[in-house]
Amino acid sequence: MDTEKIWTQFNEQLYFFILKRVKNEVATGDIFQNTFLKIHKNIHRVREDQKIKAWVFQIARNEIANYFSNEAKYVNHLSNQEYSTTESTQAFCCFDEFINDLPSIYKETVELVYIQGKKQEEAAQLLSISLANIKARIRRSKAILKEKFSECCKYDFDKNGNLIGEADCAKCS
C-alpha cells in the first residue's frame, strides 16, 4: 500500500482521532502533518496490509504523546519562573487573604499546585503524602475558598463552578 491510498482511506478518520485527543485545531494540523510524514518515510516497513490501520493510528498516538511531552516541557519552563502571589491573583478581591487564612496543610498544597504550578504528583512527593491525599486537600481547599468568596465578596458560581458577579465587599471597596 502506498501513502496516497493510506491518505484516501484514513485521512478524515485520523484527523478527527487526533483532534478529539488534542482539542486544538492548530496542534491537530501539526500532528496530522507529522503523522503522514512519518507514514510516508516508513511505509516500506509494513509487511502486511491488514495491519496498516493499526500502524497508522499507532504513529498518530506516538505523535500525540510527543506533542504533550513537548508541551509539558514548555509549561514546566514557564512555571519555574518566580511569581508573587499578589501579582498573579490580583484580579480577585481578598484572594491573597483567603489563601493565607487557609489551614497550613491546605495553604501549602494550594501554593505548590496553583501558585508554583507543580503537578499534583510532584506536590505529593514534596509533601511526602499520597496523590489521593493531595487531591483531597485541593478539593477541601476549593470548598473553603468558594465559601469565603460567597460570604465576604458576594461572588457566586455558575453551573461550571466559575466565579461570576461583581465584588460587593467592604474590605475591597
Q: Would you give the distance in Å from CA 70 to the centre of its chain?
A: 13
Q: Is the pTM of the predicted complex or chain greater than 0.75?
A: no
pLDDT for the residue numbered 76: 53
H or E element, residue 148? helix 131-148
Question: Which domains, and CATH codes, for the chain?
Answer: 3-79 (1.10.1740.10), 85-164 (1.10.10.10)
pLDDT for the residue numbered 14: 92
pLDDT for the residue numbered 135: 92
Q: 151: which 3 cell numbers?
A: 460570604
Q: 172: which 3 cell numbers?
A: 475591597
Instruction: Spell 10-34 as b/e; 16+ CB within 10 A means b.
Output: beeebbebbbebbeeeebbeebbeb
- Is-contact 45 56, C-beta < 8 A? no
pLDDT for the residue numbered 84: 43
- Is-contact 97 118, C-beta < 8 A? no
- Is-contact 93 99, C-beta < 8 A? no
pLDDT for the residue numbered 162: 67
Helices 3-22/52-79 angle, 10° precision: 40
pLDDT for the residue numbered 98: 82
What residues in the chain have per-residue pLDDT under 50? 82-91
pLDDT digits (tens, 9 = 90+) for 32-53: 999 999 999 999 888 888 889 9
